[in-house]
Chains A and B, each alone.
Chain A
């Protein structure tokens, strides 16, 4: 097999991987502060894309994206305050079911608002047919945008959680809610904040990937499924690991298409995922000790 071909499959893998990774990052934030998985995360991604496209008809793209992020953040805050904040000591299972219910609700609402059509923001650089070429290997500039924005996002999040007071308060709530409250941290506000943050990140992801994947009212579900897989594979709560795991899963899928019919792509990828989880239940980069302290 030629070297060009190898790199072209690698590029395809990177494309898949960055899409999975950018969605996976959103899962990690809420998990980091509440210990729950927000199954409506995919819907934040969809909402971001939809609102971005809608606003883009009126204002320039950067403003539309910023607007989409802000509006989705408000939605995230609203959801947390209406459905989660007032629960007294909710069990993990209950929270999961609430977020699943929310995801269905948001999807139906989007169907009512926007109809069933597909939409997309224009490519940030060039058009749908533009690609950067090195020899006979081609990559769409949008993939580089997604990769770049994911990297900036992870760096910013790491800085936020490690260095800022607010970030540390959020982490404190995740580690030990009661102790954090004794220190004067409002756990409830931190949870709201985590929803706001992950809604914003989801919305940004939705805008950035929409030229590649398109967005429609139910596109959040399948994105969330892969994003969730990648978040688990990398080790829940670790954004850096999510990117590595995303690229790994993407490449696995892409190279499996090289040697096998494309129809087996998911079978191969998921089998390898299962194998990894059998050996390392906390994910590739997860910390076994930290995981034991979490609710599940």
Chain B
């Protein structure tokens, strides 16, 4: 079926190719690798849909920097191995100008060196600090760092007088990277991790794990994962009568999990980008208009709630467009340099300020502490006083 589609597209473009592109001007070929299927599908799905929508919109308006976008979208099935072969194919065979994605940290870390050696700009939509630290000149990331998320959680915990916590994480790249950050940063905030458990990403029930937290007598716990398990764990915690504050990672930033957990999700505290609470932001918020525009066009286009992950794809394309605009040419090195010097670009995840040393571009303030109230994401009230 897929092969048929590709063939059809091929024939279609060959037949029409003679006339159409010349009339529309030069093209820029952009590759994208997303986990459209597999365990991280809830990241890759919205990302792929966002990119398809935005590329179509951009092309109708004359493309980016005057170039029509030719998007080559690939599904990695959330598998790092597949991401490697896709990255190689995009760089060597499709000869794309830049790659957007992958969706997960595990995949990105596996193709970091491939993009660097292939001198192809990589705009990862994943969170792990290790993607941009150490810096690879062609590798950027648009998702906020897990270390920032951990710091924001700890700041909040200190305010609440919490010092003994439990940590749960899933056995994925995201869970592992988050676990490392939490373990590393906790002592600096005077917080002690007294129970530390890793569970399987396909877990269907976690009652025994939360029972262990209960027995350890923790004052709060953090869960770090992106799978349905993050909704299951809060449900199980409440079922066994664990009434302590629950913190989640920014992986919780998809309303479907809050909906799935129903009343159990109420009061869960997590750091996430402002996209989720766009309509409740004050009118003078710098990101407000960008957020609302993306959110509204995504939601009217696909009839589903926008998530922060789709926002990452939005930001990646936006940044690439700005860089191409600024460089004024399709020279990979010049566009890379332009990207590295972008300042004050307002995206959905925050305000990007890249530099030669910082290819992440986002600060701690990219995160807003949020909670779930009546089945909706709202800004956590304690933080309203903070700057």
Contact = CB atoms under 8 A, between A and B. Distances in A.
Interface string B98-142: 000000000000000000000000000000000000000000000
Nearest to A214: B228
A118 interface: yes
Contacts of A289: none
A118 B231 contact: yes
A223 B39 CA distance: 14
A11 interface: yes
Contacts of B58: none
Contacts of A115: 45, 304
Interface string A221-258: 01100000000000000000000000000000110011
Contacts, number: 122
Contact of B197 (A13, A116, A138, A262): A262
Interface string B201-225: 0101101110110110000000000
Interface in B32-66: 36-39, 41-42, 45
B205 A9 contact: no
B238 A223 contact: no
Contact of A213 (B38, B39, B232, B256): B232
Contacts of B91: none
A128 B228 contact: no
A118 B254 CA distance: 11
Nearest to B240: A138
B98 to A, nearest CB: 25
Contact of A15 (B39, B207, B215, B264): B207
Contact of B204 (A129, A222, A257): A222
B171 interface: yes
Given A116-B41, A127-B262, A129-B262, 16 more contacts: A8-B214, A9-B208, A15-B205, A16-B204, A16-B205, A115-B304, A127-B263, A128-B261, A212-B204, A212-B205, A213-B204, A218-B37, A222-B204, A257-B212, A258-B212, A266-B200
22 contacts: A8-B214, A11-B207, A15-B207, A16-B208, A115-B45, A117-B42, A118-B42, A118-B260, A127-B264, A128-B263, A129-B238, A129-B263, A131-B241, A139-B239, A212-B232, A213-B205, A214-B260, A216-B41, A257-B209, A262-B209, A262-B212, A263-B200
Interface of A: 5, 8-9, 11-13, 15-16, 19, 111, 115-120, 122, 127-131, 133, 136, 138-140, 209, 212-214, 216, 218-219, 222-223, 253-254, 257-258, 261-263, 265-266
